[in-house]
Amino acid sequence: MPTLRTERLVLRPIARCDEAALHRFWITPEVRRYLWDNRILSRENVQEIIRNSQAYFDNSGSGFFAIETVAQPGRLAGFCGHRAFEGGDHVELLYGILPEFWGEGLMTEATTEVLRFGFEDCSFERIIAATDTPNQRSVNVMQRLGMVFMVRREWHGLDTVFYELDKPGFLRRP
């Protein structure tokens, strides 16, 4: 499975050995507020997410990546990656980062590399992303990535915005 690198980050596929760190990360109140609709995931939920990511890597060449900083190798800072969007054939970009790393541009750096990987190495033609409308940090990341607003609608009972980016749009980015 691929390991991706940027100037400040190492992105490696999530694995069973990440279960405890991912669980702690995903139940962090500021993270789960928008990422998991404020649900507290069980360890079994985390195990299922890891299995689903590994299956997606097997089927599509991509999945979820653990984000580590070059300055702190081995320490989970966040995650990002691709999955099949619920109820459709679309590829979804999903991401999150610990609050202590907010405002440093790391999420944009990681998601840019994951988008590049998806379009160039996995031959994805279109990638979507969604977030609760009040999550302006995530909306800002999508906009910095060059994603284009699609629609605002209720999704799982929440006011949600959807963005998309196609391969030509990604390649035209500065």
Instruction: List the chain pLDDT tens, one digit each, 174 residues.
Output: 899 999 999 999 999 999 999 999 999 999 999 988 888 999 999 999 999 999 999 999 999 999 999 999 999 999 999 999 987 789 999 999 999 999 999 999 999 999 999 999 999 999 999 999 999 999 999 999 999 999 999 988 899 999 999 999 998 887
Does a structural domain hold residue 62? yes
Does a structural domain hold residue 130? no
Does a structural domain hold residue 131? no
Name the strand (E) or helix (H) holding 87: none
Phi then psi for 52, rounded to 5 degrees? -65, -40
**What domain range includes position 50?**
4-124
Determine the pLDDT at residue 97. 96
| Residue of 72, 74, 76 whose CA lies nearest to 46 | 76
Plot region of 157 (φ>0 → left; ψ -120 to 50 → alpha; else → beta): left
User: What b-and-e string marks burial along 73-92, b requiring 16 or more CB atoms within 10 Å of the CB?
Assistant: eeebbbbbbbbebeeeeebb
The CATH number of the domain holding residue 30 is: 3.40.630.30
The H-assigned helical ranges of 64-135 are 106-116
| Residue of 83, 163, 160, 167 whose CA lies nearest to 124 | 167
pTM for the model: 0.95
How many domains is the chain built from? 1
Contact 127, 91 (CB under 8 A): yes
Does a structural domain hold residue 29? yes
Does a structural domain hold residue 163? no
Does a structural domain hold residue 98? yes
